Chain A
């Protein structure tokens, strides 16, 4: 309750009046999220979207397993909401953004995940590592 309020306030968002939660495959996860949101914003109408048909709402909650935003399901650009809560169930990795920023955050997470895979397949990891080590040494000298 306190944590979700903190996240929303930090993002600069208002108390939502209508909240849609994308359905997760586990019932316990859906209940956990819906219950927590209902207690955090008691005046809000909280709906679970079983068929994934999106409707207009103040806050859209996108649950996913794991703790990396790259694991979150893709979002459609025409989703009609102002705010998006990306809800990683493992280790309570939750982020709240305006819709446009949420899309950018997820896209960035996926880009860097691909970049990591490319580093794994090529020999580029070594020089990048050396560059970062050099930067750390310079950082220690100049700061």
Chain B
């Protein structure tokens, strides 16, 4: 299997967590980190600054990697190649091509075409399944929903020292970028000790929030420390990106022992979460503000919910479970090829 993904995003190492599980299952999985292989290279950066050529250069290098590794499955975590090139690559290498839809950008040209032409599509939001799945008008019959998950070896309770507590501790923590929903909701929490980990340039759109923004980059262990140190970790989805999903942030924060306040999604309920028991959700921004105030005043209720939430995640929403289920599904739609390696 050959995985093509951005490997340096600061929000999650999700592709690597899946890869590690699939390798443990005995599959040979090669990784093509698009940033390290293409966009970070000084010569490419130079040429691309003169005339955008990311797709052309990327396609050639992905084709070279396919020729080298001869994968049964090429899994793209973004529209790194155009549909014509993908189809030629598939013919030439005899591989199946999967496409992972990260955000709900269904109308984006290359994304739409790849979803239609791929052998299968994996989605992070089950809301889009009926929009993508089918046999007519360019729909794809093989669609799989991949829930967010946690990696307990990385997302876990930690002993924090005084410096960590001082630096990362706060009443409410939010990690991420801006968007219309977030800009509308977060000012309602400004009366608390709020800490927003993100780019001040983005957040300058909302002057009320700017004093709460820390410009430090957050990833890896530091993110787990923030999950450990904050009283409440807030998850605010942008409706343009996802509607009915379980964001990995929720699972990661809960596995770290944190208390999560999040938008309601039906899939949270289907996954076994219960409001006030294992997580706390809201259906309006006013409800969010009320619940934040209530749970800040009730640390015992917070601790109980965090503990139950952690148990649920460790039992059902780890990469060990989610990645393996996904692999079993891929095996069922992409039976081993007859080609010789």
Interface on A for B, CB 8 Å cutoff?
1-4, 6, 10, 28, 31-32, 35-36, 39, 68-70, 89-95, 105, 108-109, 111-112, 115-116, 119, 125, 128-129, 132-133, 135-136, 139, 143
* 21 CB-based A-B contacts, threshold 8 Å: A1-B220, A2-B13, A2-B17, A3-B13, A3-B16, A4-B220, A10-B36, A28-B216, A32-B216, A36-B221, A70-B42, A91-B10, A105-B42, A112-B42, A112-B45, A115-B46, A128-B51, A129-B51, A135-B53, A136-B56, A143-B88
B42 x A69 contact (CB < 8 A): yes
Q: Does chain A have a CB within 8 A of B320? A: no
A36 touches B51 (CB 8 A): no
Contact between chains at A28 and B167 (CB < 8 Å): yes
Q: Is the interface of A mostly helix, strand, loop or mixed?
A: helix
Tell me, rounded to whole Å, the shortest Cβ–Cβ distance linking B29 to chain A: 12
Q: Which of A2, A70, A91, A143 contacts B154 (CB 8 A)?
A: A2
**How does the 8 Å CB contact mask read for B179-216 relative to A, with 1 for contact and 0 for none?**
00000000000000000000000000000000000001
Counting CB contacts under 8 A, is B163 at the interface? yes
Nearest-CB residue, chain A, relative to B216: A28
Q: Kindly state the separation between the CA atoms of A118 and B227 in the bound complex, as whole angstroms.
A: 46
- Neighbouring A residues of B16 by C-beta, 8 Å: 2-3, 6
Q: Which chain B positions have C-beta within 8 A of A109?
A: 42, 45
Given B13, B43, B59, B219, which contacts A108 in the complex, CB threshold below 8 Å? B43
Known: A128-B50, A132-B47, A132-B53. A32 touches B222 (CB 8 A): yes
| Nearest CB on A from B59, distance (A) | 7
Report which of B40, B50, B216 forms a contact with A95, defined as CB distance below 8 A. B40
Given contacts A69-B40, A135-B56, 8 further A-B contacts (CB under 8 A): A2-B151, A3-B220, A89-B217, A93-B40, A109-B45, A112-B45, A115-B46, A125-B50
Q: Is the CB of B46 within 8 A of A1?
A: no
Q: How far is the CA of A47 from the CA of B56 in the complex (A)?
A: 43
Among all A-B residue pairs, the 8 with the closest Cβ atoms: A132-B51, A112-B46, A109-B42, A108-B42, A112-B42, A129-B51, A36-B221, A92-B8
Let me know if A143 and B85 touch, CB within 8 A: yes
Q: Is the CB of B49 within 8 A of A116?
A: yes
CA A69 to CA B49, docked complex, whole Å: 15
Question: Which residues of A have CB within 8 Å of B53?
Answer: 132, 135-136
Q: Are A36 and B220 in contact (CB under 8 A)?
A: yes
- Write the nearest CB–CB distance from B326 to chain A, whole angstroms: 18
1/0 per residue B218-261: CB within 8 Å of A?
01111001000000000000000000000000000000000000
